[in-house]
Amino acid sequence: MKISVIGSGYVGLVSGACFTEFGHSVICADLDQSKIDALNSGRIPIYEPGLEQIVKRNSASGTLSFTTDVEQAVRDTDVVFIAVGTPSRRGDGHADLSYVYAASKSIATAMQGYTVVVTKSTVPVGTGDEVERIIRDTNPDADFSVVSNPEFLREGAAIEDFKRPDRIVVGVEDRRAQAVMEEVYRPLFLNQSPLLFVNRRTSELIKYAANGFLAMKITFINEMADLCEAVGANVQDVARGIGLDKRIGPKFLNAGPGYGGSCFPKDTLALAKTAQDYEHPVRLIETTIAINDNRKRAMARRVISACGGDVRGKKVAILGLTFKPNTDDMRDAPSISIIQALQDGGAIINAFDPEGTEEARKILHDVSYFSNAYEAARGADALVIVTEWDTFRALDLGRMKEELNSPVLVDMRNIYRRDDVEQAGFAYHCIGRA
């Protein structure tokens, strides 16, 4: 099939590239000329394992192309995916749908023949109705259907998630659109990936409900971690004990500094705002947001406490800046709040991240960035692990102690055993372990 994707950011680029792996022909469009120039020259603007090889392979074969001309991308295609950003709107926290609506107008003026317009972007309930209205008002003679098809990609594992998904959710309002979407995902359907067809509003809500539930799960175990410290229990054992219950499951039960990234913060906020608009507030989600926001600053206070209660003039080495490993995404990363709070306390910050340094420079200022963990630790009064990159799991603790001015390790991801760290001569501070 001929597919066009409007928006060549994380979701759009991964989706477009993976669709070509299914045998479809894909054009990705984006108004950012520099991004399209980079993609046409073989440079990938985001870090995602495996993506560069797929893009280069299918670009070379001619099944994947990039353009800034949206009309060219949409013309003569069977399916158009809208994969533009929906950030939190300044002032009220609602999802900013201006990019979605602008894309809808552009699609309306360019489509020829029956076209299925698919919102792949994460959007509040009822957005599909508005997209349909915009297209109808812009082009009254258009023959089209509007479909919801939310993405469930984990950054750092997006290729695997796209090719072997837990489920594919498609919100449709007519049988003709369903038949087209069945053809789009036929390769996955043949591999018995669950293809769930629901109505459009249900599909839109499934995405928010899923992210809201996972955010609550993370927040729950973080609260249990604090309780574990108070009562002398071990949060890792608690997580294991409840995670073996099949009704709960083990995933998203790793205590840490709070959730971040491109999805959970904005999606939980948008879900809460949508529920308020419909006069059915979701108190669990509202509380989750508040707890998570407070936790990030609380993590900075733990570092200050580990440094004797005062970090003014002290150097703190931060290992890991991105919100999770295997990505360069800094959006709402816990490291941002932690570092800013430490700077407010007068700390000097050294930092190292395997992939996120360039993105971090755009957000975090007055930070010294280094090319490896040992350089970042040199002369520091404390070492803080914020993101659990694999490279931090096997640090040479003897060498690290020699680099540090004071052997203090604050392990916010619980990747080390207390006995090992203390035997190496460190004062060890972790999360939820007595």
Task: Give the model confidence (pLDDT) of 150-166 as tens digits.
Answer: 999 999 999 999 999 99
Closest CA to 103 of 117, 93, 89: 117
Residue pair 354/384 in contact by the 8 Å Cβ criterion: no
Residue pLDDT, tens place only, 256-305: 999 999 899 999 999 999 999 999 999 999 999 999 999 999 999 999 99
In which order are the strands placed within the sheet that holds 408-411? 367-369, 348-352, 315-319, 382-385, 408-411, 427-429
- Which tokens sit at 197? 């067809």
**Residue with structure tokens 């992939």?**
355
Residue 340 has a pLDDT of: 97
Half-sphere exposure of 366 (CA within 13 A, CB side): 11
**Long-range contact pairs involving 54-57 (C-beta distance under 8 Å, separation at least 24):** 54/17, 54/18, 54/20, 54/21, 54/159, 55/13, 55/17
Residue 189 has pLDDT above 80, yes or no: no
Q: How confident is the model at residue 434 (pLDDT cuts 50, 70, 90)?
A: confident
What residues pair up with 369 in beta bridges, in sequence order? 351
Q: In what helix (H) or strand (E) does residue 351 lie, and over which residues does it extend?
A: strand 348-352
The whole-angstrom separation of Cα 332 and Cα 325 is 14
Q: Give the count of beta carbons closer than 10 Å to the beta carbon of residue 179.
A: 11
Q: What are phi and psi of 348, to 5 degrees?
A: -100, 130
Which tens digit of pLDDT belongs to each residue from 22-79? 999 999 999 999 999 999 999 999 999 999 999 999 999 999 999 999 999 999 899 9
Which single residue is written with the structure tokens 């407010």?
Answer: 344
Arithmetic mean of pLDDT, 398-404:
97
Locate 102 and state its tokens. 């602008």
> Which token pair is 233?
């229990």
Structure token digits, residue 145: 């259907």
Residue 72 tokens read as: 């060219």
User: In degrees, to the nearest 5, what angle opens at C-alpha 58 toward C-alphas 52 and 63?
Assistant: 145
Confidence band for 193, pLDDT divided at 50, 70 and 90: confident
CB 325 within 8 A of CB 261: no
**Sign, Cα dihedral of 114, 140, 127, 332:** positive
pLDDT at 144: 98
Q: Report residue 215 as tokens.
A: 């955010």
At residue 93, the pLDDT reads: 85
- How big is the chain, counted in residues? 434
Distance CA 315, CA 300 (A): 14
**What stretches of 307-385 show up as alpha helix (H) in DSSP?**
334-344, 357-361, 373-377
Domains of the chain: residue spans and CATH: 2-198 (3.40.50.720), 208-289 (1.10.1040.10), 295-429 (3.40.50.720)
Query: Which residue out of 228, 263, 307, 430 is catalytically annotated?
Result: 263
| pLDDT value of position 90 | 83
pLDDT score of 209 more than 80? yes
Identify the DSSP state of 9: S
Give the separation between CA 119 and CA 156, rounded to whole angstroms.
Answer: 23
Average pLDDT value for residue range 104-129? 96
Instruction: Write out the E strands in 48-125.
Output: 64-67, 79-82, 115-119
Asked if residues 72 and 63 have their Cβ atoms less than 8 Å apart, the reply is: no
Answer whether 107's CB lies under 8 Å from 72's CB: no
Query: Beta strand pairing status for 367-369 and 382-385?
Result: unpaired
Is 430 an annotated catalytic residue? no
Q: Phi, psi at residue 360, to the nearest 5°?
A: -65, -35
Quick one: pLDDT at residue 91? 78
pLDDT in tens, 364-394: 999 999 999 999 999 999 999 999 999 999 9
Average pLDDT, the chain: 96
Number of Cβ within 10 Å of residue 131's Cβ equals 28
pLDDT in tens, 212-229: 999 999 999 999 999 999
